[in-house]
């Protein structure tokens, strides 16, 4: 796993009488999904690299309740939310960075009404901030210069919360060639996983949504498709596999690209 450092947990920090600057909310996909775990580790590497004092909840973390809420199960959502809020408040958490737009949306928008108010950012916003502060550059690692990258807007980051610029800012610093898909930003097409679709078979139709999206992405002739959401990552990677383009086109999270560019 080539992690050269230990990921601190809240329990450890608390035992040492310390408080982190920011809590990294990993999310279920980031915790269990093999592909997303890599992104999780890269986010940790970035946090470690810039020297931010952070921590994770580790085994004390639990689903935010997002898929239950979108599926219509408000009971289960609020059970999850209130349990999580209890943990977060007990640790006196003030600021949270999430590795997933769904966790981000839920904690930022739906937890305050249930007693959990925090400053919540998505990891692409953290990366943008670090670039703006000069703490992160694109040097010392893999060069993306001149490479063709297209960015897929996750619905729960873009339309749901109006965050379009932060992820693009993180790509601009690479001096790569950014190409937009026809449907991008507020007009971006969903990968097909939102609204709890990730956990079920699609309804009858004539095409899968992720294939529709991959077809559009491939029209830009990209070398890299950049994502910012573990669910989009799954859907887009599946699409690329289906099209047998795994060799030519890489689907990478903004955090992975950033980590690679900085040789982390």
Contacting another protein within 189-208 (CB under 8 A): 189-190, 192-208
Q: Pick out residues in 76-115 that bind another protein (CB under 8 A).
A: 76, 78-80, 82-83, 105, 108-110, 113-114
User: Interface residues for another protein in 149-188 (CB under 8 A)?
Assistant: 155-156, 159-162, 183, 186-188
Given candidates 23, 25, 46, 65, which one binds another protein under the rule CB under 8 A?
Answer: 65
Give whole-number Cα distances, 134 to 31, 128, 129, 130, 264, in Å.
29, 10, 9, 6, 17
> Is residue 18 within the footprint of another protein (CB under 8 A)?
no
Bridge-partner residues for 250, per DSSP? Answer: 224
Q: What is the DSSP letter of 157?
A: T
Question: What is the Cα–Cα distance from 97 to 61, expressed in whole angstroms?
Answer: 14
| Window of 1-9, 90-98, 219-227, 254-262 that interacts with another protein by CB under 8 A | 1-9
Which residue's CB is nearer to another protein, number 100 or number 131?
A: 100
β-strand partners of 5: none
Site for another protein in 205-244 (CB under 8 A): 205-209, 212
Asked if residue 16 binds another protein (CB under 8 A), the reply is no
Task: Indicate if the alpha-carbon torsion angle 254, 258, 260, 264 is positive or negative.
Answer: negative
**Length of the chain, in residues:** 264
Candidate ranges 5-13, 47-55, 171-179, 245-253; the one touching another protein (CB under 8 A) = 5-13
Should residue 248 be labelled a site residue for another protein when binding is judged by CB under 8 A? Answer: no
Query: Would you list the DSSP string of 14-29?
Result: HHTT---SEEEE--HH
* Residue in this structure with the two tokens 């040789």, named with its chain if needed: 263
């Amino acid at each position: 796993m080539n992690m050269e450092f230990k990921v601190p947990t809240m329990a450890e920090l608390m035992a040492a009488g310390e408080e982190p600057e920011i809590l990294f909310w990993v999310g279920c996909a980031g915790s269990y999904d093999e592909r997303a775990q890599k992104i999780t580790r890269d986010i940790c590497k970035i946090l470690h690299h810039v020297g931010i004092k952070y921590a994770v909840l580790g085994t004390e973390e639990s689903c935010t309740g997002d898929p239950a809420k979108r599926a219509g199960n408000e009971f289960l959502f609020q059970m999850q939310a209130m349990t999580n809020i209890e943990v977060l408040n007990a640790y006196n958490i003030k600021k949270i960075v999430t590795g997933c737009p769904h966790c981000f949306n839920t904690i930022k928008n739906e937890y305050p009404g249930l007693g959990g108010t925090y400053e919540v950012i998505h990891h692409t916003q953290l990366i943008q901030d670090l670039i703006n502060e000069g703490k992160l550059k694109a040097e010392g690692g893999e060069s993306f210069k001149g490479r063709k990258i297209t960015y897929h807007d996750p619905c729960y980051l873009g339309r749901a919360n109006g965050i379009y610029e932060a992820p693009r800012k993180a790509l601009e610093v690479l001096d790569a060639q950014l190409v937009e898909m026809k449907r991008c930003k507020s007009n971006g097409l969903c990968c097909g996983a939102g609204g709890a679709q990730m956990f079920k078979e699609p309804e009858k139709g004539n095409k899968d949504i992720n294939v529709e999206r991959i077809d559009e992405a491939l029209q830009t002739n990209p070398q890299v498709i950049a994502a910012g959401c573990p669910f989009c990552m799954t859907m887009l990677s599946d699409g690329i596999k289906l099209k047998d383009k795994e060799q030519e086109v890489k689907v990478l999270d903004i955090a992975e690209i950033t980590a690679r560019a900085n040789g982390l």
